[in-house]
Structure 1
């Protein structure tokens, strides 16, 4: 029999060997199965999941939204008993009115002080006139005394009147200085009163902010998660009431570092969604993570050991969803997807899904 004739077992074994080699070549994308398409199932839909928490404490009086409800921007999510905050606002307004009254009183005191200065100046003028009369009378009496016409008693009287007139001038000047110092004191205290008014106005604004924060509203449109707060519950700042999920979504695909060569921003991406029976959506690469995922881990791997095993690292790639796809409305944060990128495709910049 010819040596080329083999038994069926040998033929099957040979075919199995060839098949195994071909399978390995296909799995490792080696020739003749080399491809420019990179795929990863380590990819998820992401979104802006915002935890709603109060800024003030108190008892919940109303929760007008339900689990998973679609809400609009500015819609009320919960209300906190605001009676205390209303009274604090009224109290702040009363304190502000008191500070303003004190400031107005200071301005009135300034006007009165300036009028007092004018009065003191008039008294100085009057005292100077009296001093001039007394000086003239003294000069006249002194001349007569020297001529022997007037008596010593008249001279003493005139001299006393002159001294009294000088004292009146000094007193009027001192009164003017006191009025000026009073005006300076009023003006200096004015800054303190103005600061008090500013502080009272700030207290009013803070009280008004607290009152407004007693009503918790949606900052953006979207859908709420399970509502974890109930009427009558006491909440404090930081208490998690619910989460708000806007409609903006994107995909984070974690490719191995060996897959990144050739990927560029703007290249088209094919997205297969597990929850939608693997239906496909189109997107494009928006940007790359600045570091491998291991660098953002809470507990980082320590490779400075003797038993080192090299592991291909994952790098996050953000993929934007292209606009105009009805299925995009069904995407929610957390869904698993499979992302494929043809590295030979040309980058483009379609408009992202809003």
Structure 2
């Protein structure tokens, strides 16, 4: 009887041991219990968190929003005291007006130089006419002087008139050349004045941009995090004032590399959200990370030194959340989720919007 009892106890212990092994294999989804649904709890809701910072330094004159407030694109969040920047704009406008006046004066000088050239040309023509008359007079008197018909005094006077007319023509030519050089100088100086006007206009635009940047606005629709800005606070360029979280979110699931074999872009997934009492939502695989998460680590492990223990790496998988799900509006970046992906979906049933590890990439991939 005792022997029979010991035999039954041994059989029961053996059965319990085998059941325990199978239970462990089932819990870890190891053969023969490997299924088509891959699950991971290393998954979180993600979103684009934008840090709002000023481009200028100054004192905050107004904080128009509160913690966790919903804002629209273009809505004023914070105002910096703009009195200094307003005066800089007025100063830049005054400089621009001065440069424009100098350019206008250059234009007037150009016209004056052109008029001087015209006047010099007229003087040259007049000098040429006087020279022609003097030459004709000399040609008449010179033969008469040789025959003794005229006096030496009249001949000397005619010769002097000819010399004076020649000198006057040279003087008129020189005056015309001076007028032309003055016009060239004016035109060259005008280019410098035009550049000065353009520089002054750019300074005005920069001052206008600085004045506009005293009003810090929301870059897009979303909700604010904690607002750290305070009225009267002095801020420098780059000071973190608050964070803006847009409405669009997605899920990043870090699957083990051993779970990726049957995954494809477009496959349906389900995920439960811890913060929503494990409510179940749906989505689909959008794209795969180009490398394992360890490759993006700041401190990467060096497996070439010391003893080596193989550890299954995790590859981030981006999951798009299907629309028309009321609970999806309550998702916020950072929430923990549990993702389950069905790897039995046929390749023909999935849209080609991304690339799985080791697969041929499609012609075009939509980007977020």
Verify same fold: TM over 0.5. Answer: yes
User: 2:138 maps to which residue?
Assistant: 138
CA contact (8 A) 1:46 1:333 kept: yes
Where do 1:234-313 residues align within 5 Å?
234-313=234-313
Residues 1:281 and 1:68: Cα distance change in structure 2 (over 3 Å): same
TM-fit CA distance, 1:3: 7.0
Q: Distance in 2 between matches of 1:14 and 1:338?
A: 35
**Residues 250 and 319 of structure 1 are in contact (CA less than 8 Å); yes or no, is this contact kept in structure 2?**
yes
Instruction: Give the number of aligned pairs.
Output: 353
* CA offsets 1:277-330 (integer angstroms, 9 cap, x no match): 111110000000011111100111000113111111110000000001000000
Task: Please give the per-residue CA displacement for 1:157-185, whole angstroms capped at 9, x wherever unaligned.
Answer: 11111000000000000000000001111
Query: 5+ unaligned residues in a row in structure 1: which ranges?
Result: none
1:48-127 equivalences under 5 Å are 48-127=48-127
Matched, 1:348 2:350: yes
Match of residue 321 from structure 1? 321
1:284/1:349 contact within 8 Å kept: no
- Secondary structure of the corresponding residue to residue 289 of structure 2: strand
What is the rounded CA distance, in whole Å, between the counterparts of 2:313 and 2:264 in structure 1?
A: 19
In structure 2, list runs of 5 or more residues that go unmatched.
354-365
C-alpha separation in 2, matches of 1:53 and 1:116: 60
Alpha carbons 1:281, 1:328 under 8 Å: kept: yes
Q: Hey, what's the Cα distance between the residues in 1 that align with 2:313 and 2:21?
A: 27
Output the CA distance in 1 between the equivalents of 2:287 and 2:47: 16
CA shift digits 1:17-36 (9 cap, x unpaired): 12112113213424442201
Paired position in structure 2 for 1:217? 217
| 1:350 CA drift (Å) | 11
Q: C-alpha root-mean-square deviation of aligned residues, in Å? A: 1.8
Partner of residue 206, structure 2: 206
Structure 2 counterpart of 1:23: 23
* Preserved CA contact (<8 Å) 2:265 2:352: no
Per-residue deviation, 1:4: 6.4
Q: Measure, in 2, the Cα distance between the counterparts of 1:34 and 1:172.
A: 108
1:350–1:210 CA distance, 2 compared to 1 (3 A)? same
Q: What are the superposed Cα offsets for residues 215-274 of structure 1, whole Å, 9 maximum, x if unpaired?
A: 000010111010001000000101000000010100000011111101000000101100
Name 1:150's counterpart in structure 2: 150
Relative to structure 1, is the Cα distance of residues 350 and 173 closer, same or farther in structure 2, using a 3 angstrom cutoff? closer
| Separation (CA, whole Å) in 1 of partners of 2:12 and 2:284 | 46
Structure 2 SS opposite 1:280: strand
CA contact (8 A) 2:270 2:282 kept: yes
Given that 1:36 and 1:344 are in contact with CA atoms closer than 8 Å, whether structure 2 keeps it comes out as yes
More off after superposition, 99-108 vs 77-86: 99-108
Cα pair 1:54 1:236 within 8 Å, conserved: yes
Contact 1:254 1:317 in 2 (8 A): yes
